[in-house]
Structure 1
Amino acid sequence: MAATMEVADIVVVAIYFILVLAIGFLAMRKSNHNTVNGYFLAGRSMNWAAIGASLFVSNIGSWLFIPVYIQSGVFTMPEYLSKRYGGRRLKVYFAALSLILYIFTKLSVDLYAGALFIQESLGWNLYLSIILLITMTAVLTVTGGLVAVIYTDTVQAFLMITGALCLTGISLVKVGGLEGVWTKYMQASPNITAILLSSPNLTYSESCHHHLSPKPNALRILRGPRDPDLPWPGFLLGQTPASLWYWCTDQVVVQRVLAAKNIAHAKGSTIFAGFLKILPMFVIVIPGMISRIFFADELACISPEHCLEVCGSEAGCSNVAYPRLVMSVMPVGLRGLMMAVMIAALMSDLDSIFNSASTIFTLDIYKMLRKKASSRELVMVGRLFVVAMVIISIAWVPVIIEMQGGQMFYYIQEVTDYLTPPVAALFLLGVLWRRCNETGAFWGGMVGFTIGALRLVLALVYREPLCDQPDERPSFIKDVHFMYVAVLLFWGSALVAVVKSAQTTLTSTKWQKEMEEEGGMRRRWKRGIALKQEEQSLGGG
């Protein structure tokens, strides 16, 4: 059975809170956070190490796009679209889409994950825990801006790596090393008889049997084209290009790089973050596999009824694997460290989302409506928007609990794969192809967004049934993986943008030629009249 938090663990967590708050406020005092440049981009003064650590805790970016962004001098990604293509349509579209995605995917995942860990370790009320964590994160973000976010992220990155490495080391010793992981994981199936004997009221359906044992190809990355989890054609042709949205155009990721003091620090930060990003394979994936080995009877629950009893979700209990391992194998004190690590991960994501969302709202929406707004007014609006985000986040908690279903990873992947591939295509074309114009980009984005939004609505209406229920969804829903939809959206949007840009360019060229020809005819006609008048004048003389 999992242990519970003791006094020493709680002391460690309290020290962490004090440390993070102190660093955040010290960083705030050193920065000019009352100006737009200082509040939203840390005065463009950050070094590669701080940015790299911050990128790691809130994920990394690709530096192919960095020189373009820095040279354009933009604050936000919607602003870049507006500068590159002209007009306001693309700017408003991407700004609104970004804010929607932040609220309904990023915040929902972070809030649920943090609340779940607190529930496993402390048994606190979910709503009280979430309100306290969001409030503390918002205080840092509202008062200190991006400077406070980056410096606290740097401390949290060190804390996360240290705690996660400790958990990995202790878990590997208990399971028998990497060899023990590879052999025991494939045998990690629940003892159905023992579970049913211990809980006589439980039922077990044979239709749930395929969920109980790891799949034969569980340790393979590239799987068959009809694999329900990770089909390789969809992954390579759809997921990988669509990931350009997250790695290269998401405000949460790019905003840190824009805060670099120069291009060398910007590139160095992403390379540093890339090296750190190798660690999750060892400090997240392997501990998750070990947790399945130790708690197969719980994590591989035998029925929706059993899953509800174990973790409060009928769809599955994989979400509690990591916190359950922490509370079971870590000694007193280190449990508190890991509690702080999980809080660090939650706070890093939340403060990143709050800061980036306030930047987009203030500079891309509010400033467009009030062009003469002062710098102080813009900073104040940014802070007030963070407060509004906090209120929306807390109000969204009941919906999160209802819709999480035990499969939050697939939920966020589905939503982003249905809405973001067209955006990735527009940015890629904008950087690599000069002839792509605003008309082509707009219609490419709108066609892709319409198809993706329709598919998302259908996916939400026709949800995957529980394992003991028949799957009566339409074939185009249950048999078409969302990664294949991402293939259609990315390449289809790019094709529409290219064709429409070429068409409008040809039309413009043709119109220009016609105008030039018409102008030539008018000039010749005027010249003819002038010559005739001159002849008449000479003849009359």
Structure 2
Amino acid sequence: MKLHLLDAVAIFAYLIGIVWIGIAYAQKKRVTSEGYFLAGKSLDWKVIGASLFASNISTVHLVGLAESGFKDGILWGNFEWFSTVELLILAFVFVPFFLKSKVVTLPEFLEKRYDSRSRMILALFSILAALFMHIGISFYAGAVVFEAIFGWNIWFSVCLIAVATGLYTIIGGLSSVVLTESIQTVILILGSLLITLLALFALPEVGIHSFAELKTAVTPDRLSAVNFDSAAKGFSFRDMLFSHLILGIWYWCTDQTIVQRILGAKDENQARLGAVFAGFLKILPPFIMILPGILAFALFRSEIGEDTKSVLPVLIMELLPIGLKGLMVAALLAAVMSSVAAALTSCSTLVVYDVFDRLKPGLTDGKKIRIGRITAGLVLVLAVIWSPFLGNLGAIFELINQMFSIFAPSIVVVFLFGIVSSRGTSQASFLTLLLGSGIAAGVFLTEKYLTVNGVRNFVSSAEGLGINWMSQTVYFFLLSTAIYWATSTMGAKPALNVQVSSLSFSGSSRIVIGLSVLLMACMSVVYFIFF
């Protein structure tokens, strides 16, 4: 597709504008280490919620969810809708402990609860996850779209995104990132909503005039979010329910890339309200990101064929008029830039506070900021080098969740039981992180890459263990739980540096509790419609 002048202007204006806003905002503030890494603990609920949403919704979502909608339907919407529950868990279970412990990073929290070994393991996991998954896969997903639409070389697209994002992130830190993410949230929603509406308006052209006719055209199961039959898609609603709870608690409650916004909150109530606000925003993606994929099945099935990664590019090329294509590309850029910026900030914070500040305590603000900027730059370069080699790894959205499932179960065990119980020991945490993740990684690599008699398999079976990755996530969680409690019962009860408790509503305003109840009511209605 050749870019019209109006589209090119829209893209250029977005890139220049977002970079300028990020840098200009940073220059208005006196830069301190707390300001650079935690936005001076000044974030309110609106910025926290929008930033949580934008950090989460990357081009992986826009491309991957459209592809998943085309292939399987609204069932993949559960990945978004289940997040509402996990964000409430963040608000009422994790927020009080993180803020009261006054930590800058989540590995630091593990050191206070357990010991330095757990801190270093989690810091390593978090840095690698940010580099290879958050940033690398986001770069690749964005580049795939730009290659399909404009014929841009993947290396060119990755470098363009890296330079634009790196400028304001490295200069401004978290303050610039959350401001730009708030703007990008609006662009993301508007761009995705636009393509959904245009796809709906195009249905009469192919003879679809009602919801019943749409269900017939795309097959009814594509519009059902609840499916207990695992035969058709390789997993069921039950598999997704339990595995997503584990993955979601890890992602929303224990991943530095996400939780750093909570750590920068003004106070506990603002943090909780921000998490609830993000929960409401997470209702939207299935309607504006998965539904277009379902509609593409009705509209452009023959054009897409087996090339399911092209679902979103085909929608953009076929539906959007001149001028609006630029807006959609800006939305795609917003998605990838917000995710990359969040992960870069996370990486620099982890390296400064969990590596350098431990090796050489008492670093000045200036040195911490300098190390953070250098780290962000190096991570950006490494991600640029790594991301173009992702082309043969399968469906993007499923891949990223499958890779997360390797280490998420053991991390959730250590955090969750470490918060709700005082019995867990430092040795239990260390062994759970080490063995739980090690065994999961071994199974993943063996299933994917071990070759026996010329056939890639695990136990002489093309399906490996014959257990889908979602079910494996649950089994890895149970294994990690067993390691944690078996080790804990063999050791003496530890002396704790943080207070442990259970579900807490104290410190929450009535509006936080009321909105939480409303959020659950909204989700009940959604599942009633798509049951």
- The answer to whether the Cα contact below 8 Å between 1:45 and 1:259 also exists between their aligned partners in 2 is yes
Partner of 2:287: 282
- 1:233 CA displacement: 3.9
Q: Does 1:77 align with 2:111?
A: no
1:433 counterpart (410, 414, 421): 421
SS in 1 for 2:283: coil
**What pairs with 1:316-395 in structure 2 (closer than 5 Å)?**
317-395=307-385
> Cα gap change, 1:460/1:328 in structure 2, threshold over 3 Å: closer, same or farther?
same
Distance 1:356 1:182 in 2: 46
2:278 to 261, 270, 273: 273
1:47-86 counterparts in 2 under 5 A?
Answer: 47-59=44-56, 61=87, 62-63=90-91, 64-85=93-114
Residue matched to 1:238: 243
Report the CA distance between 1:416 and its aligned residue. 0.9
After TM superposition, give the deviation of residue 221 of structure 1 in Å: 3.0
**What does residue 28 of structure 1 align with?**
26
Alignment partner for residue 490 of structure 2, among 488, 503, 517?
Answer: 503
Task: Tell me what 1:291 maps to.
Answer: 296
Deviation string for 1:124-168 (max 9, x for gaps)? 222112101101101111100000000001111111111221211
Letter in 2 for 1:425: V
Aligned twin of 1:196:
none
On the 8 A contact 2:136/2:384 being kept in 1, the answer is: no
- Structure 1's unaligned 5+ residue stretches are 189-213, 302-316, 464-468, 509-541
Preserved contact between residue 242 and residue 417 of structure 1 (Cα < 8 Å) = yes
Q: Deviations over 1:262-299 (max 9, x none)?
A: 11211111111111111111110111111222221243
Can you list the C-alpha shifts for 1:229-259, whole angstroms capped at 9, x where unaligned?
Answer: 3234432333322321101111111001111
**2:401 pairs with 1:404:** no
1:126 to 127, 151, 154: 154
Equivalent position of 1:421 in the other structure? 409
Residues in 2 aligned to 1:225 and 1:129: alpha-carbon distance in whole angstroms: 38
1:260 is aligned to 2:260 = no
Question: Is the CA contact 2:177–2:338 (under 8 Å) kept in the aligned structure 1?
Answer: yes
1:116 aligns with 2:144: yes
Alpha carbons 2:208, 2:214 under 8 Å: kept: no
Q: Which residue in 1 is equivalent to 2:42?
A: 45
Say whether the 8 Å CA contact 2:154–2:388 is kept in structure 1: no
Match for 2:419: what amino acid?
V
> Helix, strand or coil for the counterpart of 2:491?
helix
Structure exhibiting the larger radius of gyration computed from Cα positions = 1
* CA deviation vs aligned residue, 1:300-342 (integer Å, no higher than 9, x gap): 32xxxxxxxxxxxxxxx22221122012101111111111000
Q: Does 1:104 align with 2:132?
A: yes
Q: Which amino acid aligns with 1:49?
A: K
**Alpha-carbon deviation of 1:452?**
0.6
Task: Give the AA of the match of 2:408.
Answer: T
* 347-356 vs 407-416, which moves further: 407-416
Q: Which residue does 1:483 correspond to in 2?
A: 470
Structure 1 residues 44, 390: CA separation in 2 closer, same or farther (over 3 Å shift)?
A: same
Residue matched to 2:123: 95
Shift of 1:40: 0.4
Counterpart CA distance in 1 for 2:154 and 2:52 is 28
Q: Percent identity?
A: 29
Q: 1:442 aligns with which of 420, 427, 430?
A: 430
Residues 186, 120 of structure 1: CA spacing in aligned structure 2 closer, same or farther, 3 A cutoff?
A: farther
CA distance in 2, matches of 1:58, 1:443: 31
Letter of the aligned partner of 2:254 in structure 1? T
Match of 1:206 in 2: none
Tell me the secondary structure at the aligned position of residue 464 of structure 2.
helix
Cα deviation, residue 217, structure 1: 6.5
Structure 1 length-normalised TM: 0.79
How many residues are treated as equivalent by the alignment? 457
Displacement of 1:121: 2.5
- 2:121 aligned partner, one-letter code: Y
Contact kept in structure 2, 1:255 and 1:356, CA below 8 Å: yes
Q: Is contact 1:239–1:487 with CA below 8 Å preserved after alignment?
A: no
Aligned to 2:226, the other structure's residue is in SS state coil
Deviations 1:92-131 (A, max 9, x none): 1011111112222222321111111211232222211210
Aligned positions of 1:295-310 closer than 5 A: 295-301=300-306
Map of 1:133-212 to 2, 5 A cutoff?
Answer: 133-176=161-204, 180=210, 183-184=213-214, 187=217
Distance 1:215 1:392 in 2: 44
Secondary structure at the aligned position of 2:490 is classed as: helix
Tell me the distance in 2 between the aligned counterparts of 1:29 and 1:394: 27
Q: CA RMSD in A?
A: 2.5
**How far does residue 227 in structure 1 lie from its aligned partner after superposition?**
5.5
1:173-196 CA distances to partner (integer Å, 9 max, x unpaired)? 1114997566446645xxxxxxxx
Residues 447, 457 of structure 2: 8 Å contact kept: no
Distance in 2 between residues matched to 1:501 and 1:482, nearest whole Å:
28
The 1:227/1:249 distance shift into structure 2, 3 A limit, reads farther
- Residue 507 and residue 374 in structure 1: after superposition, are their counterparts in 2 closer, same or farther (change >3 A)? closer
TM-score normalised to structure 2 length: 0.81
Q: Answer whether contact 2:246 2:408 (CA < 8 A) is retained.
A: no
Question: Are residues 179 and 453 of structure 1, via their aligned partners in 2, closer, same or farther at CA, if it must alter by over 3 Å?
Answer: farther
| Amino acid in the other structure paired with 2:324 | L
- Alpha-carbon offset, residue 470 of structure 1: 9.1
- 1:3-14 aligned within 5 A: 4-14=2-12
Indicate yes or no: 2:43 matched with 1:15.
Answer: no
In the alignment, the residues of structure 2 paired with residue 32 and residue 179 of structure 1 have an alpha-carbon distance, to the nearest angstrom, of 58
Residue type of the partner of 1:409? F
* Aligned residue identity for 1:48: W
Distance 1:258 1:492, change over 3 A: same
Counterpart Cα distance in 2 of 1:77 and 1:182: 49
Letter in 2 for 1:354: L
CA–CA distance in 1 between the matches of 2:379 and 2:494?
45
- Which of 437, 441, 452 pairs up with 2:440? 452
Higher relative contact order by CA 8 Å / sep ≥ 6: 1 or 2? 2
Q: Matched residues in 2 for 1:178 and 1:148: separation?
A: 46
- Equivalent position SS for 1:149: helix
Secondary structure of 1:58's aligned partner: helix
Contact 1:185 1:292 in 2 (8 A): no
